Amino acid sequence: MDRRIRLTVLRAASFLAACFLASLFLLAYPVYVIRPFRHQGTAELALALQVLRFRLPAMIAAAALAPVAALRLWRTARSRRTRALAVAAAAFVLACAALSRVNIYEQMFHPADRPEFVGTAGTRLAGTEKVLAVRIGDQARAYPVRSISYHHIVNDRLGGVPLAATY
C-alpha cells in the first residue's frame, strides 16, 4: 500500500474512532452519573447536564460523519477485517445516536397509575418510615416515600378528585 493510501486509511480510521468514542461518551456518561440511588458529585453532575445539553447536535454530527468515514475506509482499505470494523463502528455510532433519543429515566421511573392500597392493619411500614399523606373530605391515603421515590409519581383518585402524589 503506498504512503498516500495509508495516510487516507489512517485519517479515516482515526476520524471514525473519534466518532465512536464521542458517541459512546455522549450516551453512557449522563446515564452513569444521573442513575438513581447513587450520590452525585457537584462537578460530575454539572458535566453530565452539560453533556445532555449539547448531546443532540453532537450526536447528529457523529451520526452524519461516521458513515462518511466508514465509506472512505471501505473504498481505500483492502482488508476485509478493516472494512468490517468500519461498518461495525459506523453502525455503533448510529445506534448510540438513536438510543440517545430515548429518555431512559422515563423508562426506569414510570408512574404508578393504578396503585393498590391495604388497610392500616395490613401495612408493613417501619415505625420511622415516612409517608406522603393526603386527606380529601373523609377519605385519606398514605403513599410510602420508599415507593414514590422509585416511581417519582403516583396518579390516583381520592374522593373523585384526581391527584398526583410526587416526591
Strand 153-158 and strand 139-144: pairing? unpaired
- 22: pLDDT strictly greater than 90: yes
How far does Cα 104 stand from its chain's mean position?
Answer: 4
Q: What is the reported pLDDT for 37?
A: 67
Give every CB contact of residue 86 below 8 A, 6+ residues apart in sequence: 12, 13, 16, 69, 70, 73, 74, 77
Global pTM value: 0.66
- Residues 46 and 95: their CA atoms lie apart, in Å, by 26
At 132, the pLDDT band (50, 70, 90 cuts) reads: confident
- 61: pLDDT strictly greater than 90: yes
DSSP 128: T
**What are the sequence ranges of the domains in the chain?**
3-108, 120-166
Q: What would the pLDDT profile of 64-113 be if each residue is shown by its tens digit?
A: 999 999 999 999 988 899 999 999 999 999 999 999 998 776 666 666 67
